[in-house]
Amino acid sequence: MSRILSIQRLIAMLIKEFIQMRRDRITFAMMLGVPLLQLVLFGYAINNDPRGLPAALVSLTNDPYSRAVVSALENSQYFKFTVENASPSEARRLLRKGEVTFVVTLPSDFAKQAEAGTPNALIEADATDPAASGAAVASAPAIIEKAVASVKQNNPKLKQDLLRTSTTIHRKYNPEGITQFNIVPGLLGVILQLTLVMMTSIALTRETERGTMENLLAMPASPFEIMCGKVLPYIAVGGVQVCVVLVAGRLLFNIPFEGGMTLLLSSILVFVLSLVLLGYFISTIAKTQMQAMQMTFFFFLPSLLLSGFMFPYAGMPVWAQTLGEIFPLTHFLRVVRAILLKGAEWNEVSSSVYALMICVAVLLVMALKRFKPTLD
């Protein structure tokens, strides 16, 4: 018998490992579930050249040229006019709220200018995420000029000269298209989510695994006291992280701080609350720290992909967007980017903050319901 490798001993080890793997159902489910989840999310939901981005149309004219331009933009699949006939001020508000990525304005003299060879459309793009709007913006002038040219062909009396580029493009909120402006505020959310959910998810499982839970429950501490005691320290940890990321974002990356600090910090607090409660909820379900970690990652991965952090939210199919709505990170990214980059006010981010508050309330109730003050 060999000292280094005995098939018999190796088989003994293998059998034991497989038995243990099979007994730990959650790990087993993760091993099968995670690749499948990744495949579906990456495969179907993620699009680096996003199409169908929401756009608002401010059309101050109605003529063959403008109609041709609108349908050409829609046919390009980059633009999807979710709001037509918007007033200029309304369109700008939608852009700031993030409900549309573009505002396309066709001025009243558009037909005249088109016939003169200089179609003067204005495209304002939300450039906070340069990746989302880049391709659409780049292709827009050519699409417009081609549409105008095809209308002019029907009228041989007009001069069919080559059009020079005359479409005006405003990249708003991040005119230089600096990726960091979009990523760093997003990273704030991602960093908070990763650390806080992970740390709080082992809050109860650590007690259970070390056997201290039995003692803790035998002493007169109420479920609410235990929850607050477990969760509050991590809110403080979150506070430190927020300071570090914001200061570094300012000093290292020159992130603009357009909006109000109070609104920013109170929105962050709501987000942090939702994260620690989420982690605590996980820890009421997981039986071991290992399971808690796995559940955290099971949650972390899709939230990273579907929240709009890594890939443009607007470019995802509707089902993926709907799924993305359940993650606090999705709502937080909207809030933090709107406040920091666009200087959004309360009424412009309120719907996302309310969504975060709903997350907090639901998680609070679920965590308290799941927590058992007995060992049953």
Range in contact with other proteins (rule: CB under 8 A) among 242-250, 256-264, 321-329, 368-376: 368-376
The DSSP call for residue 202 is: T
Range in contact with other proteins (rule: CB under 8 A) among 79-87, 219-227, 236-244, 328-336: 219-227
DSSP-assigned beta bridge partners for residue 106: 59
Residue type, 40: V
Query: CA-CA distances (angstroms) from residue 336 to 146, 266, 323?
Result: 39, 11, 20
Report the residue number, 4 or 218, with the smaller CB distance to other proteins: 218
d(CA 22, CA 168): 62
3-state secondary structure of 171: strand
Residues in the chain: 376
Least distance between other proteins and beta carbon 215 (Å): 4
Give the dihedral sign, CA 60/61/62/65: negative
Least distance between other proteins and beta carbon 83 (Å): 57
Does 214 sit near other proteins (CB under 8 A)? yes
Report the residue number, 166 or 288, with the smaller CB distance to other proteins: 288
Least distance between other proteins and beta carbon 365 (Å): 21
Does 228 sit near other proteins (CB under 8 A)? no
Is beta strand 53-59 parallel, antiparallel or unpaired with respect to 79-83?
parallel
210-218, Cβ contacts within 8 angstroms, sequence gap of 24 or more: 213/375, 214/375, 217/373, 217/374, 217/375
Indicate which single residue of 150, 153, 212, 351 sits in contact with other proteins (rule: CB under 8 A).
212
Range in contact with other proteins (rule: CB under 8 A) among 2-10, 89-97, 281-289, 367-375: 367-375
Range in contact with other proteins (rule: CB under 8 A) among 140-148, 194-202, 213-221, 272-280: 213-221
Least distance between other proteins and beta carbon 94 (Å): 54
Q: Which pair of structure tokens corresponds to residue 335?
A: 């809030």
Residue corresponding to tokens 């990525």: 101
Least distance between other proteins and beta carbon 261 (Å): 36
* Dihedral pair phi/psi, residue 211, rounded to 5°: 80, 5
Does 23 sit near other proteins (CB under 8 A)? no
Angle between helices 223-253 and 203-210 (to 10 degrees): 130
* Neighbour order of strands in the sheet with 102-106: 79-83, 53-59, 102-106, 122-126, 168-172
* Contacts to other proteins from residues 256-315, by CB under 8 A: none
Indicate which single residue of 162, 220, 262, 318 sits in contact with other proteins (rule: CB under 8 A).
220
* Dihedral pair phi/psi, residue 103, rounded to 5°: -125, 120
Indicate which single residue of 36, 219, 240, 251 sits in contact with other proteins (rule: CB under 8 A).
219
Does 222 sit near other proteins (CB under 8 A)? yes
Indicate which single residue of 8, 89, 262, 374 sits in contact with other proteins (rule: CB under 8 A).
374
Range in contact with other proteins (rule: CB under 8 A) among 192-200, 204-212, 230-238, 301-309: 204-212
The contact set with other proteins (CB under 8 A) reads 210-215, 217-222, 373-376
